[in-house]
Structure 1
Amino acid sequence: MARYHIETYGCTANRGESRVIEQALRDGGHHRAEGVGEADVAILNTCTVVEKTERNMLRRAEELERETADLIVTGCMALAQGEEFREAGIDARVLHWDDVPGAVLNGECPTPTPDSEPVLDGVVGILPIARGCMSDCSYCITKRATGRIDSPPIEENVAKARALVHAGAREIRVTGQDTGVYGWDAGERTLHELLDRICDIDGDFRVRVGMANPKGVHGIREELARVFAENEKLYNFLHVPVQSGSNDVLGDMRRQHQVREFVEVVETFDARLDHWTLSTDFIVGFPTETDEDHRKSLELFERVRPEKVNVTRFSKRPGTDAAKMKGLGGTLKKERSKEMVDLKMRLVGEAYEEMVGETREVLVVEPGTGDSVKCYDEAYRQVIVTDAEEHGIEPGEFHEVEITSAETVYCFGEPI
């Protein structure tokens, strides 16, 4: 599990983003290092209010790059002027706030604590539905901490979801180390049944399904796609981490699925849903990954065109089988990572550009930077609405908006 160092500059909103990032990292079994020199990864949450601040951000990024093996830059300057870091020759991953936890997790599953209970954060309810997984990935250390899947009964999880709705939740995030294998410990595959029951709860809310490995989803893909198509309360969003486009590498990772199964999941959802978001993960530079394997990953990326992607450079975790393998050079991993990130930015940017001019119903989830709010449409695409106070818009409300412009990983909407 990774040790992280995080530094935050700027306004209260930035500090709030850092708290969200840290919570996700702690949920994933990671912990804060005593100092940057002890960290596996450093996270710089930047501000860009004035030119002097920008110079300070670049200088601090240069210092952190020298002190840590892996640097992630996020925040306002990263989003508005990410090219500044590249032009300064700083070797860092420039990411949106929402993408930071997935990048740090290194392809490992999130690790809820043993006493994980529903949490209401603003209008967002967090619902852990199970603990543990059915996988044995060669690079993942969290398996030792969590064990095999332990799924509470459907009725118990529905009761927790109902309590969240009654407490004011307008968005329920269904989480787990691998939601796709919910019920496997009882000899059943019941994620689709659980989601159906949650959507039957009275109230005006939305449900987002957390990470589900391809192997678990593949066996219930038809049932799951049907439930998504029939329930407006479900965000049309599925996070299915493929990790590689090469079956040889997937075998060395012990990922339990093959590329064909992942593609069949995507094709099933494509056939059922008109507007949906595929989220996936790729690990770049696994010790056995060849140039041909990397090419296959890029080709798969182009083929399925995910709208949300976590690209992670492989790093060894102590005590794992993959840590015993002879690793690839850092320069090669950086080159492959840059190639995939460039592809990601192009394809994801195109997906958001295609939304411009369309009308979407969005749920306002939380405050953004300044007087803006973060919203999500039915496919969990992020829509920013500015001048929220002027429009009388607050978290927890549904609004119709026209998409007026797009950035790479989000777009802007104007209330109708």
Structure 2
Amino acid sequence: MATYHIETYGCTSNRGESREIERALRDGGHRPAPGPDEADVAILNTCTVVEKTERNMLRRAEELADETAELVITGCMALAQGEAFREAGIDAEVLHWDAVPEHVLNGECPTVTPDVDPVLDGVVGILPIARGCMSNCSYCITKFATGRVDSPSVEENVAKARALVHAGAKEIRVTGQDTGVYGWDTGERKLPELLDRICDIDGEFRVRLGMANPGGIHGIHEELADVFARNEKLYDFIHAPVQSGSDEVLEAMRRQHRVGKFREVVETFDDRLDEWTLSTDFIVGFPTETAEDHERSMELLREVRPEKINVTRFSKRPGTDAADMKGLGGTIKKERSKAMSELKMQVVGEAYGSMVGTEREVLVVEEGTADSVKCRDGAYRQVIIQRAGERGIEVGEFLDVEVTGHNTVYAFGEPV
């Protein structure tokens, strides 16, 4: 999918959740549509305060289901009374807030289109460094929209990054369908040079590298790990979506890597960096996935223990080769997704639990809810500081904090 429309009803908390959903979609290369009738997906973030509100939510859901290609319903009514939408015959996916971006992205490469320019969102600068992809995954529809990789020069991207810093960016997010193949179309692997050059820009800011497929970065993973090790401005974070722990499934997916290459990338970063965050994705229930394949994925997750994990249930996309495969039943996909999601929460919770009692520098990235702010440490792990307003803490500040607790997928910190 390339375009989205999002509507939000209810309280400030709901608006904050919609902002997080929208940021994740924009970070993945998706862009807002002028209206629901022009969107590939509409997202309805619901409220359920009184009966009248619930009736309004049902009516609006019916309207959106008729106006758009696909409807996703989330928010309070979706979580508390999700069956009401099904009973009303509304054709929609009913999901928790956190699951919306993963569902929309569907395990595919981000869709960065030719009209996407650098964007400054608060203190976060989004920098698309290239368009297109070198892969031909059997389940991915975005390749039809983006084509082969097209890489602007290092100088052009550095100039865009410098402009973002001068405009006030404190965090630059380097994005693309597959950042690891930046420069392949010119015959050179330019990502390490680009990251070095961006980090050399004057100013106090941080840089986060966006999604890089394991097959794309494997050829430069040692050089890339050295770039991370010598640049303090670069978050010690990589997003390398493995998608499956089974080589047979990866072959059917037509992924350009096998599990061994993924492990080599992880081991190299383990050797070079004292503390870093691995983000990865798994597609559960691919048509050829057997019970043994699924267990291999579970074993890989237990082995490498990523600090951030996206679990997506396979869904067919029209025009892709995987759409013609005989799929697994919904119950099987649901059970496997539940098992992996439970393991995910255990693994991520342990990672954040290990932070408690440590001190670290964080960047205040954005406002949270109830007078809190969301921060990122050097490994791009999220730290929440509460009572920020009364303490005079502002977005864009760098602070030293002590981690005092955690809530599975983020930590709590107190200024030192």
TM-score (norm 1): 0.88
2:30: which partner in 1? 28
Pick closer, same or farther for the CA change 1:325–1:376 going to 2, 3 Å.
Answer: same
Distance (whole Å) between structure 2 residues aligned to residue 3 and residue 164 of structure 1: 24
Distance (whole Å) between structure 1 residues aligned to residue 139 and residue 191 of structure 2: 26
Higher mean alpha-carbon deviation, 244-253 vs 62-71, is at 62-71
Once the two structures are TM-superposed, the CA of residue 17 in structure 1 deviates from its matched residue by 3.4
Once the two structures are TM-superposed, the CA of residue 12 in structure 1 deviates from its matched residue by 3.2
1:386: which partner in 2? 386
1:41–1:68 CA contact under 8 A, matched in 2: yes
1:73: which partner in 2? 96
Pick closer, same or farther for the CA change 1:273–1:5 going to 2, 3 Å.
Answer: same
Aligned residue for 1:152, secondary structure, equals: coil
Distance (whole Å) between structure 2 residues aligned to residue 375 and residue 226 of structure 1: 25
Pick closer, same or farther for the CA change 1:4–1:342 going to 2, 3 Å.
Answer: farther
2:369: which partner in 1? 369
CA shift digits 1:264-320 (9 cap, x unpaired): 000000001111000000000000000000000000000100010110000000000
Aligned residue for 2:96, secondary structure, equals: strand
Letter of the structure 1 residue corresponding to residue 286 of structure 2: F
Distance (whole Å) between structure 1 residues aligned to residue 78 and residue 149 of structure 2: 43
1:161: which partner in 2? 161
CA shift digits 1:372-403 (9 cap, x unpaired): 00000000000000000121100000001111
1:323: which partner in 2? 323
Distance (whole Å) between structure 2 residues aligned to residue 318 and residue 12 of structure 1: 37
**1:302 paired to 2:302:** yes
Once the two structures are TM-superposed, the CA of residue 41 in structure 1 deviates from its matched residue by 5.2
1:313: which partner in 2? 313
Question: Map of 1:39-50 to 2, 5 A cutoff?
Answer: 40=70, 42-46=72-76
Aligned residue for 1:226, secondary structure, equals: helix
1:36–1:42 CA contact under 8 A, matched in 2: no
Distance (whole Å) between structure 2 residues aligned to residue 254 and residue 61 of structure 1: 36
Question: Map of 1:194-273 to 2, 5 A cutoff?
Answer: 194-273=194-273
1:360–1:400 CA contact under 8 A, matched in 2: yes
Distance (whole Å) between structure 1 residues aligned to residue 231 and residue 113 of structure 2: 30
Letter of the structure 2 residue corresponding to residue 62 of structure 1: E
Pick closer, same or farther for the CA change 1:106–1:403 going to 2, 3 Å.
Answer: same
2:214–2:265 CA contact under 8 A, matched in 1: yes
2:335: which partner in 1? 335
1:5–1:43 CA contact under 8 A, matched in 2: no
Distance (whole Å) between structure 2 residues aligned to residue 121 and residue 10 of structure 1: 23
Aligned residue for 1:234, secondary structure, equals: coil
The number of aligned residues is 384
Once the two structures are TM-superposed, the CA of residue 408 in structure 1 deviates from its matched residue by 1.1
Distance (whole Å) between structure 2 residues aligned to residue 7 and residue 242 of structure 1: 32
1:143: which partner in 2? 143
Once the two structures are TM-superposed, the CA of residue 370 in structure 1 deviates from its matched residue by 1.5
Distance (whole Å) between structure 1 residues aligned to residue 30 and residue 225 of structure 2: 27
Once the two structures are TM-superposed, the CA of residue 114 in structure 1 deviates from its matched residue by 1.0
CA shift digits 1:40-90 (9 cap, x unpaired): 4524133xxxxxxxxx5644422245534632212xxxxxxxxxxxxxxxx
Pick closer, same or farther for the CA change 1:3–1:118 going to 2, 3 Å.
Answer: closer
Pick closer, same or farther for the CA change 1:252–1:188 going to 2, 3 Å.
Answer: same
1:401–1:414 CA contact under 8 A, matched in 2: yes
Distance (whole Å) between structure 2 residues aligned to residue 11 and residue 121 of structure 1: 22
Once the two structures are TM-superposed, the CA of residue 223 in structure 1 deviates from its matched residue by 0.5
**1:61 paired to 2:70:** no
Distance (whole Å) between structure 2 residues aligned to residue 62 and residue 354 of structure 1: 38
**1:284 paired to 2:284:** yes
Aligned residue for 1:335, secondary structure, equals: helix
1:118–1:125 CA contact under 8 A, matched in 2: yes
Pick closer, same or farther for the CA change 1:116–1:218 going to 2, 3 Å.
Answer: same
Aligned residue for 1:125, secondary structure, equals: strand
Pick closer, same or farther for the CA change 1:2–1:226 going to 2, 3 Å.
Answer: closer
Letter of the structure 2 residue corresponding to residue 173 of structure 1: R
Letter of the structure 2 residue corresponding to residue 186 of structure 1: T
Once the two structures are TM-superposed, the CA of residue 9 in structure 1 deviates from its matched residue by 4.2
2:349: which partner in 1? 349
Once the two structures are TM-superposed, the CA of residue 19 in structure 1 deviates from its matched residue by 3.8
Letter of the structure 1 residue corresponding to residue 64 of structure 2: G
Letter of the structure 1 residue corresponding to residue 189 of structure 2: R
Pick closer, same or farther for the CA change 1:404–1:19 going to 2, 3 Å.
Answer: closer
2:40–2:70 CA contact under 8 A, matched in 1: no
2:16–2:369 CA contact under 8 A, matched in 1: no
State the percentage of identical aligned residues: 72
Q: CA RMSD in A?
A: 1.9
TM-score (norm 2): 0.88
Once the two structures are TM-superposed, the CA of residue 360 in structure 1 deviates from its matched residue by 1.2
Pick closer, same or farther for the CA change 1:114–1:346 going to 2, 3 Å.
Answer: same
1:90: which partner in 2? none
Distance (whole Å) between structure 2 residues aligned to residue 197 and residue 62 of structure 1: 52
Aligned residue for 1:150, secondary structure, equals: coil
Pick closer, same or farther for the CA change 1:5–1:190 going to 2, 3 Å.
Answer: closer
